Structure formats: C-alpha cells, structure tokens
Amino acid sequence: MIRMRNNKANEMSARFAEYRRLARGAAVVLLCVTAFAISSRAARPGFATQGSREVTDEAGRTVKIPQPVRRIVSLAPSMTETVYALGLQDRLVGDTDYCDYPADAAKKHKVGGAINPNIEEIAALKPDLVLVVKSLNRLETVRALEQIGIAVYSTDPHTVQDVIGSVKRLAGMLGAEEVGNVLSEDLTGRLAAVHKKLNGTTIRRVLFVVWTDPLMSIGRKTFIADVLERAGGTSVVDSGQDWPQYSLEEAVRLQPEYLVFASNHSEKVHNEVEALALKPGWSALNAIKNRKIAVISDAINRPGPRIVDAVEELARQLHPEVFAEKN
C-alpha cells in the first residue's frame, strides 16, 4: 500500500514537472510571438513607440488612429488630392488606379480601384491609416481593413462647405493643423469672392449631365448640386437620389438654359454635343440648339480642395458678363 502511494506520488511529481516544462515552453513561444510582432512594427520606416488618438469619423464610426500618422493609403481621388494639398504627399504610400491629380499621384503604388481595392496589397504597405469617402468606397472594404487591424477614416461631405470642413479636420488629425487652417481660409475666401461677384445676377437653370444614355443627373442633396448653386445656377432635377436617371422628355419640358458636363477634354464633349444635336429629343433642347454648354474639369466630381476651382470655373461660364475682364 505504501509502495502504491509512493508510486502515485512519484507519478504526480513527474506530471507536475512536465506541466511546468510545458508552461515554460509556452511562455517562451508567447514571448517570441510578441517580440516578432513588435519587431515587425518597428520595421516600418520611421516607426517609434507611439500612442493613438480616438476620433469619430464623418460616417459616425469610432476610429483609433496611431499618432503620429506616418504611412497613408488613399482609396479615393479626392482624399489623395487633399493629402497633396496639405503637403503630406511623402506619407502617401499607396492610392487607387484613378488617383491622377496632381500628376505625381499617378506614380504612387496602386492598390486597385476605389470599389474593389486589393486588401492584401494595402496590408503589405503597412499603413497607419486608410482614407475613404462614404459615398464612393464600400462598407465591405472598410470592415475588411478593420478586421486586420488597419485604421480607416471616412469622410462624408454633402456640400462645398462640408468639403472644406473635411479638409480642415483631416489636417488636424494628420498633424498639419496650421496648413489646414490656411488652406480652409483661402478656399472660404475664394467662395466669398465668387458670391460677391454673383450678387444680383439671374440664377441660371441647368441640367448637369452625368451620363447621356440613359440620361443621368445629380440629386438635390449632393455636393455637386451645391456647386451649381454657388456658381449661380440651379439644377432643374429635383430628386432625393444622388444619381437619378432622368427623363429626356421631362428635360425638354423644363428647357434648362445650360447643359453642364464634367470632363478634362472640352473638345471631346463639344463633339459629343454635335452628335446629340442630331438625335430626337436632344435636338429639342434649346441649350443644344443655342450651344449653351458648360464644360468644367472633373474637379467637380471630387469632394476635395479643387471643388472651389470647379465653383469658380462654372461661375465664369454661366455668367461670363460678370467675370469679363475690364479694359
């Protein structure tokens, strides 16, 4: 009996020793994994032990952003333009296939389109922050990035003033508050100058053409509709949808004074208008007959700093008599 007890004691002692050995081994493995994770983060260019800042983005999400932000990926052309306008382009390590302004943006590492970016490609760039626009980028993209521990900040502007506010908030978050203040003041001042010039002018009724077949325009709650108003125009389309299909027959009935197109190729648009003039329906539009066509750059489609350029550009075309240089 005593021998059995001794054997049992010896067995328990041996098991206990084995447990301690395994525990020590597990601790070593855990330490190795932790050390690897730390060394991986330290491998980032310019990495140093840093904290984070918790903010609420414009989509209402709580985002914990590493501070300072040294590596940025932009998933929207407007966000890329904002980063450049703030002078932070050296931190931009990746953007989309459609980020082409300024010209240097086209040289950045490409991670795919805004709708279908390559998540693995983004992760490989080890960004501190990914910038998106709610109306452009998909929620699935945001969630996929969050699941692998990458901070994502979303903007959601609906007016020109919202765009300027987004730029200013982003500047503060990225440590460029002073530049952001100067930029926002400049943009606001330019808007005020346009407003002053247009004071007392007749508002032009316009149709903003997103697509011709089928005819698509913009809704009243979009920042583009706000651009039209700030440029001394108003859309004949009254829709709660952002990008509504519109009846050509209704457009003929309302007879907008101007058709507005967004393109970097003015000659191409005017050639298209000549072709439209030969088509039934389009040929009944007075704006087509009188060639009242305003063509502005695609800056109007991008809720970034160049949105004010679009306001100035469109105002000059809708009200040339106000902006004509005096001798």
Taking phi over 0 as left and psi of -120 to 50 as alpha, with beta for the rest, 120 belongs to: alpha
Structure tokens at 144: 């996929």
To the question of pTM greater than 0.85 for the whole model, the response is no
Last residue of a domain, one of 156, 189, 218: 156
Specify the residue for token string 């929620």.
139
Q: Kindly report, residue by residue over 263-293, the tens digit of the pLDDT.
A: 888 888 988 999 999 998 999 999 999 999 9
Q: Which residues of the chain have pLDDT under 50?
A: 1-49, 327
Last residue of a domain, one of 121, 156, 191: 156
Question: Positive or negative, the Cα torsion across 173, 177, 183, 187?
Answer: positive
Which residue, among 174, 253, 161, has the nearest Cα to 207 in the 3D structure? 253
* Predicted local confidence at residue 238, as pLDDT: 92
Q: Phi and psi for 93 in degrees, rounded to 5?
A: -100, -10
CB 252 within 8 A of CB 270: no
Q: Any bridge partners for residue 52, and if so which?
A: 66
* Predicted local confidence at residue 326, as pLDDT: 58
218 and 307 inside one domain: yes
Q: Is residue 243 part of a domain?
A: yes
138 and 209 inside one domain: no
Q: Is residue 193 part of a domain?
A: no
Specify the residue for token string 């020590």.
24
Specify the residue for token string 């530049």.
179
247 vs 214: CA distance, rounded Å: 9
* Predicted local confidence at residue 155, as pLDDT: 98
C-alpha angle with apex 83: 78 to 87, nearest 5 degrees?
Answer: 140
128 vs 45: CA distance, rounded Å: 11
Last residue of a domain, one of 96, 131, 156: 156
135 and 234 inside one domain: no
Q: For strands 258-262 and 204-209, give the pairing.
A: parallel
208 and 314 inside one domain: yes
Residue 245 DSSP label: B
Q: Is residue 275 part of a domain?
A: yes
72 vs 9: CA distance, rounded Å: 61
Tally of structural domains, the chain: 2
Q: Is residue 209 part of a domain?
A: yes
228 and 315 inside one domain: yes
Q: What is the CA radius of gyration of the chain?
A: 28
Domain, as residue range, for 314? 200-323
Alpha carbon distances (Å) from 276 to 177, 205, 232, 272: 48, 20, 26, 6
Q: Phi and psi for 174 in degrees, rounded to 5?
A: -95, 5
* Predicted local confidence at residue 266, as pLDDT: 84
Q: Is residue 42 part of a domain?
A: no
What secondary structure does DSSP assign to 184-241, as a single string? Answer: HHHHHHHHHHHHHHHTTPPPEEEEEESEETTEE---TTSHHHHHHHHTTEEES---SS
213 and 297 inside one domain: yes
Q: Is residue 282 part of a domain?
A: yes
134 and 219 inside one domain: no
Can you give the CATH number for the domain in which 123 is found?
3.40.50.1980
219 vs 256: CA distance, rounded Å: 16
Q: Is residue 316 part of a domain?
A: yes
Q: Is residue 254 part of a domain?
A: yes
